[in-house]
Amino acid sequence: MINEKEIIPRIIKGDIRAFSLLVDEYQKLIFHVAKRMIQNDADVEDVCQDVFIKIYKNIGSFAFKSKLSTWIAQITYSTSIDYLKKNRKHYIEFVSDEIIDYKTDDHSPADLLEQKDLSRYLTEIISELPTPYRLVITLFHLEEFSIQEIVDVTGMPDGTIKNYLFRARKLMKEKVKLYLKNDHARR
């Protein structure tokens, strides 16, 4: 764990070693957020590089009003969205129930039976969720951000975030239940 108050002034002065410590500390967070939003590994690496360069250039504007991780996640989120928009990739800012029903109900029980590994299956159903759901799920469960921190990162109202969390988890739970039933029938 790095001492932010000690390391940030060093980075502002141009200390590359201090910046290297920051890279070690936050590369996982940046990778997780970018990976869940963009998914393609090669593009994710480019976006992560852009994020770190933005951090280096703008660290002087970090005013310690939030956690450094929140500020970094915010930069990662906006850079990933810019990337998706620039490359005309599919990005839905607000998700309606109809889209979800269409997007996640395309596995037949036969497909499910072919999925031998539950964790791989779960990874797949997470990747099929709409981008905002994946982002909210990642920040809340994997990075253990609070709802307020997710509000700060995304700028979405807290009601929307709670709703996305609830709906995404409910949808995935139904998939897991179906998987477990099929798995039980197989045995």
d(CA 161, CA 68): 21
Pick one of 9, 12, 53, 113: the residue that binds other proteins (CB under 8 A). Answer: 53
With tokens 């920040």, the residue in question is 139
Residue 5 or 17: the one with the smaller Cβ distance to other proteins is 17
65 burial level (CB within 10 Å; 0-12, 13-18, 19+): exposed
Binds other proteins by CB under 8 A, chosen from 64, 94, 102, 166: 166
One residue of 25, 56, 66, 103 binding other proteins per CB under 8 A = 56
Q: Are 55 and 7 in contact (CB under 8 A)?
A: no
3-class DSSP state of 57 = helix
Encoded amino acid at 135, one letter: L
Complex with other proteins: residue 65 or 86, whichever CB lies closer: 86
The residues that touch other proteins, with contacts defined as CB under 8 A, are 14, 16, 19-20, 23-24, 27-28, 31-32, 35-36, 41, 45-46, 48-49, 52-53, 56-57, 118-119, 122-123, 126, 137, 141-142, 165-166, 169-170, 172-174, 176-177, 180
